Chains A and B, each alone.
Chain A
Amino acid sequence: MKNKPKTLFDKVWDSHVVTRKKDYPDLLYIDAHLIHEVTTPQAFDGLRRRKIKVARPDRTWATADHNVPTKNQHLPIKELLSKIQVEKLTKNCQEFGIRLYGMGHPFQGIVHIIGPELGITKPGMTIVCGDSHTSTHGAFGAVAFGIGTSEVEQVLASQCILQNKPKTMNIEVNGKLGKGVVSKDIILYIISKISTGGGTGYFVEYTGSTIKNLSMEARMTICNMSIEMGARGGLIAPDETTYQYMKGRPFAPKEKNWDSALRNWQTLPTDKGAKYDKRVAFDASDIEPMVTYGTNPGMGIKISQHIPTEDNFQMESQRSSFRKAVNYMNIKPGKKIQDQKVDYVFLGSCTNSRIEDLRMVAHIVKGRKKADDVEVFVVPGSRQVETQARKEGIDKILKDSGFELRGPGCSACLGMNEDKIPSGKYCISTSNRNFEGRQGPGARTFLASPLTAAASALTGRITDPRELL
């Protein structure tokens, strides 16, 4: 009998099921577990309490990213609680025999940047991390998703996790992207259409010619924000672009192993005729540079559009959320979003801090000057990205324009380390969340692409990057 056609997601998931029993979640084997300082201390305590070891330290990688300052990284962390949390990670890694790319290590960086960069992330794998943006790794055709601390403990203890199999959704994007429209715009566009809950319960596979033509960096940006529509994860079938990117990376298979791995990876893409539980399609030509105006990532509009008004929403509950958002952001419904004043610009985060993102920024600011009344943070995702940027002279281009390239970390993405946006100030940011207070108490966030954010840094206002390209 011929096998039933399967989706990429089903193939990867099913091949990792250790046991499947009625009325129980699947017992799913995890190939790689990435950990960081914030969501693990309580999990390690749990192991100590039970007197058990980490099952597979060789499948576990650690880095410090959320708490690290992005200036003077050679000095001890100033903030005491941050310092304790990072030290705790170091101690736990020593005690349990886990390799750690901590501060000062040449491989240190945001967990979702270093996984792919080091070749840890590979097609067909299951990957988890106590962080919702683990979905980033799906760009390689891996099933990757974020988990809570108790689940981190499960994986440390057994290298497995109890998990109900999500449903599958296919999001197809076809056509050519317009000038100045990049992958961040694609995903903000999709979320604005699907809403922050539209993907809940699903794992999304992105397909279509537009996606196929994207670089790995751009694909990661899309998968990264899958969680912002509620999806457990997102993934993209591996292809030549994927293999080119991976070849020669430290943890990528070598020589003979590479050839057998490749043969296996080539069997992963979704079979013809395989069924998804839900399908949606978009046309790339309808996408423009996107900006969010409100306090969740679904509140995005095209940069040429006006901020909606209450009349655009049907239900009273939506209207009240809209009122609360507009009130928090202190913006006028119905007004143009362009030319809105910004005080800060954040170029970084696991969404947009790869070398390609910095190249985009350099491209647009080269030979131009930063506006006087904005402060700009340019934060590479990892030490390796930073080194590469310096090698390419990006730091100089930035400096000539009045920007500064900082050290790697999560930085102003989440208002946890030293980099915060002050209360009431406006920040245009390449990160992934614009929730109230996300970038610091009272901070107001507009999410956008690196091109749009960089263009806005030059003018001090939300600016359409197409005017500068």
Chain B
Amino acid sequence: MENIDTDQIIPARFLKAVTREGFDQHLFRDWRFDSNNKPRKDFVLNDKTFKGKILVTRRNFGIGSSREHAAWALKDYGFDAVVSSFFADIFKTNALINQLLPVTVSPDFLKKLFAEIKKNPQTIVNIDIPNQIIEIKNANIKEKFPLDPYRKMCLIKGYDDINYLLNQKFDIIKFEKQRKNDFSI
């Protein structure tokens, strides 16, 4: 599927929680379950042979609503990475902040990846964050993927944006003081 939107990843009616937990139950809710809450046999997440920690999906993943709940739901469900040839901007940021790695690969690599998984659902896919390499050793294919240097550092060292921001307080206050032409409040 192309263009998977965040309303599919987690429908709005499940956004009412006021904590971060439990969104995994509703991940792809209306694709996973029918209107009687019975699992739909034809949906891939309901097929045990395709179990794993990496979600492989077609281009333009995560479009639509900015809901970070989409990233929480995927992470809660057990995914550590999503591989696609193209991601929507807000989703990508939300995912990275939550240690869910969006891996952008070439359309060609994605095609091969799908083919390998189809051939062998147990295919092992390695993702090396420091070197930014995604690889299927058995099929002898690999590719370098882009990763924002700051986000990479956060992922590897477990840094937190808010601590970083709070440490910039001095600069922020200076900016506020020096500011001209501010008519915003």
A residues at B contact (CB < 8 Å): 15, 18-19, 23-25, 27, 29, 31-32, 38-39, 41-42, 45-46, 50, 52, 58-59, 66-67, 81-82, 84-85, 88, 122, 124-125, 130-132, 146-151, 153-154, 157-160, 162, 164, 166, 196-197, 200-201, 227, 230, 232, 251, 253, 257, 260-261, 264, 296, 298, 317-318, 320-321, 324, 414-416, 423, 433, 435-438, 441-442
From 139 to 177 in chain B, residues with beta carbon under 8 angstroms from any chain A beta carbon are 148-150, 161-162, 164-166, 168-169, 171-172, 175-176
Most buried by A among B12, B30, B86, B149: B12
B150 and A160 contact, CB distance less than 8 A:
no
Name the residue of chain B whose CB is nearest to the CB of A164.
B148
Query: Closest CB-CB distance, A370 to chain B, in whole Å?
Result: 27
Asked if A160 and B172 sit within 8 Å, CB to CB, the answer is yes
Whether the Cβ atoms of A317 and B161 lie closer than 8 Å is: no
B35 interface hit (Cβ, 8 Å): yes
Given contacts A42-B19, A321-B2, are A148 and B185 in contact (CB under 8 A)?
no
B-chain residues with CB within 8 Å of residue A149 when the two chains form the complex: 68-69
The reply to whether A157 and B165 form a contact with Cβ atoms under 8 Å apart is: yes
Among candidates A52, A66, A124, A150, residue contacting B97 with C-beta atoms closer than 8 Å: A150
Chosen A-B contacts, 8 in total, with CB atoms closer than 8 Å, are: A39-B67, A42-B19, A84-B18, A148-B71, A158-B168, A196-B3, A442-B30, A442-B35
State whether A148 touches B68 (Cβ < 8 A): yes
CB distance from A43 to the nearest CB of B (A): 9
Sample of 15 more A-B contacts, CB < 8 Å, known A148-B90, A296-B3, A435-B5: A19-B168, A66-B12, A132-B65, A132-B66, A149-B68, A150-B68, A150-B94, A196-B60, A197-B88, A200-B87, A200-B88, A201-B89, A230-B88, A296-B5, A317-B2
CB < 8 Å neighbour of A162 from B2, B58, B150, B166:
B150
- Contact pick for B162, options A132, A157, A318, CB 8 Å: A157
A153 touches B162 (CB 8 A): yes
Q: Complex Cα distance A260/B180, Å?
A: 11
Give me the 10 closest cross-chain CB pairs, A-B, nearest first.
Answer: A148-B68, A31-B184, A41-B18, A81-B16, A148-B94, A261-B183, A23-B149, A132-B66, A146-B66, A158-B165
> In the bound complex, what is the Cα–Cα distance between A162 and B18 (angstroms)?
24
Residues of A within 8 A of B15 (CB): 38, 66, 416
Chain B residues with Cβ under 8 A from A166's Cβ? 89
Known contacts: A41-B18, A147-B90. The answer to whether A423 contacts B185 by CB under 8 A is no
Asked if B39 CB lies within 8 Å of chain A CBs, one says no
The complex places the Cα of A353 from the Cα of B142 at a distance, in Å, of 50
Q: Please, which residues of chain A bring their CB within 8 A of the CB of B66?
A: 39, 130-132, 146-148
* A197 pairs with B59, CB closer than 8 A: yes
Interface contact B150-A23, CB-CB below 8 Å = yes
> A251 to B18, Cβ gap below 8 A?
no
Q: Which of A38, A122, A197, A441 contacts B183 (CB 8 A)?
A: A122
Answer yes or no: B64 CB below 8 A from chain A CBs. Answer: yes
Asked if B183 contacts A433 (CB within 8 A), the reply is no
A24 and B20 CA atoms in complex are apart in Å by 27
The answer to whether A317 touches B58 (Cβ under 8 A) is yes
* Smallest CB gap from A440: residue in B: B13
Number of interface residues of B (CB under 8 A): 56
Q: Which residues does chain A contribute within 8 Å of B16, judged by CB atoms?
A: 38, 67, 81-82, 84-85, 416
A296 touching B68, Cβ below 8 Å: no
B8 interfacial contact with A, CB 8 Å: yes
Is B131 interfacial (CB-CB < 8 Å)?
A: no
Question: Which residues of the other chain, B, contact A151 by a CB distance below 8 angstroms?
Answer: 93, 97
Q: Which of B89, B150, B169 contacts A158 (CB 8 A)?
A: B169
A438 CA / B15 CA spacing, docked (Å): 13
Bound form: Cα–Cα A437–B67 in Å: 16
CB of A213, distance to nearest CB on chain B (Å): 27
Minimum CB distance partner of A142 in chain B? B184
Establish whether residues B166 and A433, one from each chain, have CB atoms under 8 Å apart when the complex forms.
no
Query: Is B7 interfacial (CB 8 A cutoff)?
Result: yes
Q: A423–B150 Cα gap in the complex (Å)?
A: 44
Cβ of B108 within 8 Å of any chain A Cβ, yes or no, is no
B64 near A435 with CB under 8 A, answer yes
CA distance A85 to B13 in the complex (A): 12
Q: Cβ of B78 < 8 Å from any Cβ of A?
A: no
Is B98 part of the binding interface, using a Cβ–Cβ cutoff of 8 Å?
A: yes
* Distance (whole angstroms) from the CB of A237 to the closest CB of chain B: 17
- A18 touching B11 in the complex, CB below 8 Å, given contacts A39-B66, A42-B20, A148-B94: no
Residue picked from B15, B35, B66, most chain A C-beta under 10 Å = B66
Residues in A whose Cβ lies below 8 Å from that of B2:
317-318, 320-321
- Within 8 Å by CB of B89, from A38, A200, A320, lies A200
Q: Is the CB of A132 within 8 A of B7?
A: no
The verdict on B181 contacting chain A, using a C-beta distance below 8 Å, is: yes
Contact A321 B3, CB 8 Å, known A148-B71, A154-B162, A415-B11: yes
Chain A residue at minimum C-beta to C-beta distance from B68 = A148
CB atoms of A158 and B183 under 8 A apart: no
Q: Which residues of B contact A442 (CB under 8 A)?
A: 30, 35
Nearest neighbor of B181 in chain A, beta-carbon distance: A264
Contact between A27 and B165, CB atoms less than 8 A apart? yes
User: CA separation between A58 and B185, bound complex, in Å?
Assistant: 8
Residues of A within 8 A of B7 (CB): 414, 433, 435-438
**A159 to B182, alpha carbons, bound, how many Å?**
15
Q: Known contacts being A150-B68, A162-B150, A197-B88, is A321 close to B98, with CB within 8 Å? A: no
- Asked whether B3 lies within 8 Å of A232 as measured between CB atoms, the reply is no
A303 and B87 CA atoms in complex are apart in Å by 31
Q: How far is it, in angstroms, between the C-alpha of A154 and the C-alpha of B98 when the chains are bound?
A: 14
Flag whether B63 is at the interface (Cβ < 8 A): yes
Q: By the criterion CB–CB under 8 Å, are B68 and A39 in contact?
A: yes
A157 to B87, CA, bound (A): 28
Is the Cβ of A423 less than 8 Å from the Cβ of B3?
Answer: no
Q: Could you tell me if A45 and B19 are in contact, using CB atoms closer than 8 angstroms?
A: yes
Binary interface encoding of chain B residues 27-38 relative to chain A, with 1 for a CB under 8 A from any of its CBs, else 0 = 000100001000
List the B side residues contacting A130 at CB < 8 Å.
66, 68
